[in-house]
Structure 1
Amino acid sequence: MGNPWAGEVTLVLDGTSFDLKLTLGALAELESALEGETVLELIERFEAGRFSTRDVLALIVAGLRGGGWQGRSADLLSVEIEGGVLAATKAAAQLLARAFAGGGD
């Protein structure tokens, strides 16, 4: 299980548990994937409940990459996420909160 005090979030993909984390490098890659938007704008969308599935996927990919995963976002198109879209969305929101609030939920 991921350590929330280290900014980690656990997500199970195809039966395998992954610890996701938004490292500085992962955040830079995330901003690149946002195509001109900033992470601050992404946070504002999450806080307002106006995020998209693209936002969730971008955060999951960034978190996986920060946790050492070497895949690409296309690799996740057919993956089974334990808990479904709701679990993915919760994990994405937790990643943001833990990266910028310093642990916990």
Structure 2
Amino acid sequence: MVNQSDSLAMNWTQAEFQGKCDITGNIITWSASNTGNQEMIEPTENYTITGLDPWTTYNVCVSAVNLEGQSPFAPCVNQTTDEDKNMTESSGGISSTLEEDCGNRIDSRGVTS
């Protein structure tokens, strides 16, 4: 998986059904806290879930579908989106802007006069 502040890009190996039916799609589920989302997509081995919240852990699961039904979900994984790289904070007339520092997470902040 590749993490951004608002998306997770996933890759997997397509499941193989025993029998005569080709895979017709995949089902991807993701949830954070007590919310759950599910999407049926075309058969593929990669997908990017978008519209996610920054710095949030999501439980992501994938299964395959064919004319005979749905496969069991592959083992689910927990992935955390990156934190926002640019944010502004304001307090008492003083404001500061945090920006990404060479691709590294910003772990501290300060205001200088």
What is the TM-score normalised by the length of structure 2?
0.27
Which structure would you say has the larger RCO, counting Cα contacts within 8 Å and 6 or more residues apart? 1
Q: Which has the higher helix share?
A: 1
